[in-house]
């Protein structure tokens, strides 16, 4: 179908060239010429390539090939618009002429044409003059329309920028051309590519396509589009799995690159491909993919989005879904009627027209002969059909470019009331200044260039609809550049999905797939985090006072917990505290009632009351480990326990020392150590040291209530001990005292049975040390991450207190209450006498010891005084020699042992 239409375009083209009086001299790149008072240049890629460009050996004529019928309409649009202006009163008595050149889609041909544009005005030899100052330089062409490709426009704009000749492009979209520091004289009637790539990524975001590939021509347009789409895609979390550049020159390298790109597309699982590629390269790529039955979703840039050549590829429907972006078009008044009136003429024009005819004939050989193909009516109708097929928005850009130049000339010549200043000998920069500020009404809006020289009117979104072997370009929406919004006029529900991953729900996050770079997997948010939206890239941490389970979309407040009074463990501990207090009350009652009995005196006498008082304080300290930890509770509980228990252990230490003092030392040592036995000062000093430790603790870094938030679901209220050094020092000091008690009690374990509390002291201190060593291990390993953490220390305190009660007081209470017959002083003294006799020591008669039975301060004092009396009696018997030798030997032995013992 398409080759036939190409053939139909040739007669119209011949008619057009004849009417505009082409150049009479051989010129391989001239497309059309017409004389006029003011000449406007045109630069169009009428042909697609230059033959044998790589094999050039001398700068001879260029051989162009590959006729592009779409550019045929672009050229006609420029000529028609100029003729309409000339035939109107828009510029009275001023005729616009034109010189239109074929750039052959190549920079070399474009530069050659630009040299013609720069030739001096009214110069017969078309020479270009070199000046130091081009302010007054007056070239033949006052403005240039073109080119189409950015690669060409950039080179041409650099040349024209020296002279500040205005250049108005209808197709070049490279963003760099908006830089007025580099391209001061460049303007365009379309938006730059940055707007198009922004529109493309917005479309993908609307269709929820998160994974794409990008291919582009290796020229200024393709590279600009590639870089811009990658930037916009990254900003919108769209993953570009791969991108490729395809060379624009036809050689083996281009062929290899196209094949490699096709293989990459075939192997990849990506479904959406954005293509900023020229039509000639996309045709080659599509041909390979159609042969391999590869179907994708294609996003076409403005270069090929409405290309009928591509749409006419055999089996093009197999390539998949094609969506494209085109520049917003408009209506060119009576343009179709103009094409219908074109007349055909014999092919006697210059060489470029002959090339067109030859091209058409080669195409015609492959198609059946058409009847009446030479009739004038048919040819006019055929031109009309071509306009219908190639009604591209690009031709409207050419129309706007000519109109903008005309309005600028009207303003510069001050055309009012049918008269214009007809001074045609002016430098082009004067026209440029007017052109930048030109404004006029179009179909639906006002035309004007922005500060970058662009006319950003927007894009139409089209979808290729393929039915019955033909392709229609259906408008499905548009993109507003100023509002940066996409609006759809048709339903896109039939557009297939293009994601390799499922949509992640709230409570999940996306993680990169190990198989595909752009694909992702959905993983639940871990405990303590959440995600509220679909397809979240990451999970948000819950606020400090909130928590969540794994895979949740929101957090909930943490519960505040502490060891409450009503909990079972608190009730049990309270019962033990009350029970301990009751036991102490019972013990205290028995001790007060039997104050003068030797059992009570042997248990420690008055120190028992201090010990019982300290144990009551220790039980009270246990209560402070229960309930809500307030500030004063945290400060009181540890010092109260530490000081009270130190007071108790100091009394136990004195009891241990008293036992070994009474039964384990010889007389000389006994006298020296007896001077150290000062109960009251010793208790004050030992307890005072603990008071100093606790006072420094409270003053420097006291315990305080804190919120432990390390547990996921709760906020645990605990007491922070402040200085753990002071905490360890307090417990370590008590442990040291307990260890000393243990050593002294163990040394005095061989004392008489009725006087021997050393066994009980040893056992109680062993229990204490075992309990607190276990506490230390649990304290270090468990840590303060459990609301039952205070229970550990409370149990340790209770175990220590109950061990002292059971080992120090319960046995004495048993003797006082159940063994009253043995709780007499004579029984204790007789037991002591038997103990010494078993050890071979001299023991004084009991009758002599009874005189001390009044109210001795302690059992140790009774034994010590009796010892002194025995020593006096021993010396008396030795003086009178009333005893026999055996008694003397016994008494001598008693003396020796007594000196070695207490």
C-alpha distances in Å from residue 524, one per residue of 532, 553, 631, 641, 778? 12, 10, 41, 49, 35
Lowest mean pLDDT among 112-116, 486-490, 625-629: 486-490
Higher pLDDT, 598 or 140: 140
Residue 2 has a pLDDT of: 42
Q: Which residues contact 146 (CB under 8 A, 6 or more apart)?
A: 41, 42, 43, 44, 103, 152, 153, 156, 167, 169, 170
Q: Which residues contact 857 (CB under 8 A, 6 or more apart)?
A: 605
Contact 156, 422 (CB under 8 A): no
Alpha-carbon gap, residue 774 to 780, rounded angstroms:
10
Q: Determine if the peptide bond prior to 481 is cis (ω within 30°).
A: no
Alpha-carbon gap, residue 685 to 552, rounded angstroms:
61
Report the mean per-residue pLDDT for the chain. 78
Alpha-carbon gap, residue 273 to 299, rounded angstroms:
6
Residue 389 has a pLDDT of: 46
**Superfamily holding 568-822:** Rhodopsin 7-helix transmembrane proteins (1.20.1070.10)
Is it the case that residue 475 has pLDDT exceeding 70? Answer: yes
User: Strands, E, within 699-780: which ranges?
Assistant: 704-708, 714-720
Alpha-carbon gap, residue 250 to 637, rounded angstroms:
91
Global model pTM greater than 0.85? no
Share of the chain above pLDDT 90, in %: 23
Contact 585, 629 (CB under 8 A): no
C-alpha distances in Å from residue 357, one per residue of 30, 79, 540, 638? 16, 21, 69, 109
Tokens of 511: 């993680």
User: Strands, E, within 481-584: which ranges?
Assistant: 485-488, 508-512, 520-524, 529-530, 540-541, 546-547, 556-557, 559-561
C-alpha distances in Å from residue 639, one per residue of 349, 527, 633, 775, 780? 116, 40, 11, 17, 20
Q: Over the stretch 236-282, which tens digit does the pLDDT of each residue have?
A: 888 888 999 999 887 788 899 999 999 999 988 888 999 999 888 99
2-191+332-391: what CATH class? alpha beta
Instruction: Indicate the pLDDT class of residue 349, thresholds 50, 70 and 90.
Output: very low
Share of the chain above pLDDT 70, in %: 75
Tokens of 889: 């030997």
Domain ranges of the chain: 2-191+332-391, 508-557, 568-822, 825-900
Is it the case that residue 327 has pLDDT exceeding 70? Answer: yes
- Phi/psi at 347 (nearest 5 deg)? -85, 65
Residue 482 has a pLDDT of: 83
Alpha-carbon gap, residue 410 to 624, rounded angstroms:
98
Tokens of 851: 């005189």
Q: Which residues contact 338 (CB under 8 A, 6 or more apart)?
A: 80
Same fold, 2-191+332-391 and 568-822: no
Cα angle value 835/839/842 (rounded, 5°):
85
Q: Over the stretch 520-575, which tens digit does the pLDDT of each residue have?
A: 778 889 988 999 888 788 899 888 888 888 888 889 888 888 888 888 899 999 99
Q: Over the stretch 595-646, which tens digit does the pLDDT of each residue have?
A: 877 777 777 778 888 989 999 999 999 999 888 889 999 999 989 999 999 9
Residue identified by tokens 């014999």 is 346
Cα angle value 748/753/758 (rounded, 5°):
30
Q: Over the stretch 28-59, which tens digit does the pLDDT of each residue have?
A: 567 788 899 999 999 998 888 888 887 888 88
Provide the 10 A C-beta neighbour count for residue 691: 15
What would the mean pLDDT of 160-179 be, rounded to a whole number?
A: 91
Alpha-carbon gap, residue 354 to 519, rounded angstroms:
55
Instruction: Indicate the pLDDT class of residue 822, thresholds 50, 70 and 90.
Output: low
621, containing H or E segment? helix 607-623
As beta bridge partners, residue 766 has: none
């Amino acid at each position: 179908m398409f080759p036939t239409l190409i053939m139909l375009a040739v007669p119209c083209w011949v008619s057009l060239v004849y009417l505009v009086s082409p150049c009479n001299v051989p010129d391989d790149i001239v497309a059309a010429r017409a004389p006029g008072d003011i000449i406007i240049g045109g630069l169009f890629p009428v042909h697609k390539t230059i033959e044998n460009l790589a094999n050039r050996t001398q700068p001879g004529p260029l051989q162009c090939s590959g006729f592009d019928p779409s550019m045929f309409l672009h050229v006609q649009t420029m000529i028609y618009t100029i003729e309409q202006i000339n035939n109107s009163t828009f510029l009275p008595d001023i005729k616009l002429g034109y010189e239109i050149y074929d750039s052959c889609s190549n920079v070399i041909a474009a530069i050659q044409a630009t040299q013609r544009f720069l030739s001096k005005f009214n110069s017969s030899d078309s020479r270009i003059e070199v000046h130091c100052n081009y302010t007054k330089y007056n070239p033949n062409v006052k403005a240039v329309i073109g080119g189409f490709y950015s690669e060409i426009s950039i080179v041409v704009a650099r040349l024209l920028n020296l002279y500040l000749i205005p250049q108005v492009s209808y197709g070049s979209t490279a963003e760099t051309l908006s830089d007025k520091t580099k391209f001061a004289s460049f303007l365009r009637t379309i938006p730059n590519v940055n707007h198009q790539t922004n529109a493309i990524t917005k479309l993908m975001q609307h269709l929820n396509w998160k994974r794409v590939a990008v291919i582009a021509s290796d020229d200024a347009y393709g590279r600009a589009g590639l870089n811009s789409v990658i930037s916009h895609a990254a900003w919108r979390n769209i993953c570009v799995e791969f991108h490729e550049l395809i060379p624009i020159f036809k050689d083996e390298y281009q062929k290899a690159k196209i094949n490699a790109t096709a293989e990459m597309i075939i192997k990849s699982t990506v479904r959406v491909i954005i293509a900023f590629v020229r039509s000639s390269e996309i045709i080659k790529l599509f041909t390979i993919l159609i042969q391999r039955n590869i179907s994708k979703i294609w996003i076409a840039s403005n270069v090929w989005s409405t290309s009928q050549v591509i749409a006419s590829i055999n089996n093009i429907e197999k390539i998949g879904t094609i969506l494209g972006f085109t520049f917003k078009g408009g209506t060119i008044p009576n343009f179709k009627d103009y094409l219908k009136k074109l007349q055909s003429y014999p092919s006697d024009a210059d060489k470029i027209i002959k090339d067109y005819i030859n091209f058409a004939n080669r195409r015609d050989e492959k198609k059946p002969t058409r009847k009446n193909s030479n009739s004038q009516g048919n040819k006019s109708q055929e031109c009309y059909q071509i306009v219908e097929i190639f009604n591209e928005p690009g031709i409207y850009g050419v129309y706007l470019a000519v109109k903008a130049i005309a309005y600028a000339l009207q303003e510069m010549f001050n055309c009012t009331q049918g008269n214009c200043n007809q001074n045609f000998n002016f430098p082009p920069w004067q026209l440029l200044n007017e052109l930048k500020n030109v404004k006029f009404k179009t179909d639906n809006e006002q035309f004007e260039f922005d500060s970058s020289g662009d006319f950003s009117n927007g894009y139409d979104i089209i979808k290729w609809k393929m039915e019955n072997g033909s392709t229609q370009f259906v408008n499905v929406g548009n993109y507003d550049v100023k509002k940066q919004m996409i609006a759809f006029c048709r339903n896109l529900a039939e557009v297939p999905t293009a994601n390799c991953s499922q949509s992640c729900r709230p409570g999940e996050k996306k993680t990169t797939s190990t198989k595909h770079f752009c694909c992702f997997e959905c993983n639940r948010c871990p405990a303590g985090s959440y995600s509220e939206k679909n397809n979240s890239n990451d999970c948000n941490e819950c606020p400090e006072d909130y928590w969540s389970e794994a895979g949740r979309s929101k957090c909930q407040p943490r519960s505040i917990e502490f060891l409450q009074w009503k909990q079972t463990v608190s009730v049990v501990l309270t019962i033990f505290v009350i029970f301990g207090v009751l036991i102490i009350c019972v013990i205290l009652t028995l001790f007060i009632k039997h104050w003068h009995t030797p059992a009570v005196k042997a248990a420690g006498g008055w120190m028992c009351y201090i010990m019982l008082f300290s144990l009551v304080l220790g039980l009270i300290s246990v209560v402070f480990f229960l309930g809500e930890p307030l500030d004063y509770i945290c400060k009181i509980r540890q010092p109260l326990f530490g000081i009270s228990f130190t007071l108790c252990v100091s009394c136990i230490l004195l009891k241990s020392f008293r036992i070994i003092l009474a039964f384990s030392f010889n007389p000389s040592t006994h006298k020296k150590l007896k001077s150290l036995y000062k109960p009251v000062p010793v208790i004050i000093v030992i307890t005072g040291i603990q008071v100093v430790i606790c006072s420094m603790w409270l003053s420097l870094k006291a315990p305080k209530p804190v919120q432990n938030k390390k547990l996921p679901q709760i906020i645990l209220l605990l007491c922070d001990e402040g200085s753990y050094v002071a905490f360890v020092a307090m417990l370590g000091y008590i442990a040291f005292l307990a260890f000393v008690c243990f050593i002294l009690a163990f040394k005095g374990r061989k004392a008489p049975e009725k006087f021997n509390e050393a066994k009980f002291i040893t056992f109680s201190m062993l229990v204490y040390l075992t309990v607190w060593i276990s506490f230390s291990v649990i304290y270090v390993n468990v840590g303060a991450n459990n609301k039952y953490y205070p229970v550990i220390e409370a149990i340790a305190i209770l175990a220590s207190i109950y061990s002292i009660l059971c080992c120090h007081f319960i046995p004495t209470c048993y003797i006082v209450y159940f063994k009253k017959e043995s709780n007499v002083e004579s029984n204790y003294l007789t037991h002591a006498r038997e103990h010494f006799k078993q050890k071979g020591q001299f023991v004084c008669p009991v009758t002599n010891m009874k005189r001390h039975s009044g109210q001795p301060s302690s059992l140790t004092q009774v034994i010590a005084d009796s010892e002194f009396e025995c020593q006096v009696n021993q010396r008396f018997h030795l003086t009178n020699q009333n005893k026999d030798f055996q008694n003397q030997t016994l008494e001598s032995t008693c003396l020796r042992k007594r000196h070695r013992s207490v």
